[in-house]
Amino acid sequence: MLPKYKAVIFVHGCFWHQHEGCSKSKRPETRREFWNSKLDANIERDKRNIEKLNSLGWRVAIVWECAIKKKSSFEEMISSLEDWIRSGHSELEIPNKT
């Protein structure tokens, strides 16, 4: 949390938070009912938490695990976060949704 900027940065694991379109978010083939329930609950909790933060006036950025692991774009990611923090925009997602 960055209270001075009323900003929160989440770092989400692609599997646990089901990063849409990411190869790391593939659901397991075994125990499907368990995994679907677990992962769907994570997605819904994330949505509720972000909505709650927004309603309290907080801005939210999500940095996905796959973006951090790309060392070639690490500096670009940090720069994007810096720009977002200063901009006052309400949300940011790295990598951006396509």
pTM beyond 0.85: yes
pLDDT value, residue 68: 87
Task: Give a yes or no: residue 68 inside a domain.
Answer: no
Task: Give a yes or no: residue 46 inside a domain.
Answer: yes
Run of H or E residues at 64: strand 59-64
What's the rounded Cα separation, in Å, for the pair 67 and 24? 12
Arithmetic mean of pLDDT, 57-71: 90
pLDDT value, residue 97: 62
Question: By residue range, what is the domain housing residue 5?
Answer: 1-21+37-56
What's the rounded Cα separation, in Å, for the pair 13 and 18? 8
Task: Give a yes or no: residue 28 inside a domain.
Answer: no
Task: Give a yes or no: residue 64 inside a domain.
Answer: no
Task: Give a yes or no: residue 96 inside a domain.
Answer: no
Residue at 54: amino acid letter: N
Task: Give a yes or no: residue 89 inside a domain.
Answer: no
Closest CA to 90 of 7, 20, 4, 22: 7
How many domains is the chain partitioned into structurally?
1
The predicted-structure confidence for 25-51, as pLDDT tens digits, reads as follows 999 999 999 999 999 999 999 999 999
How is residue 10 written in tokens? 């989440």
Task: Give a yes or no: residue 80 inside a domain.
Answer: no
Task: Give a yes or no: residue 87 inside a domain.
Answer: no
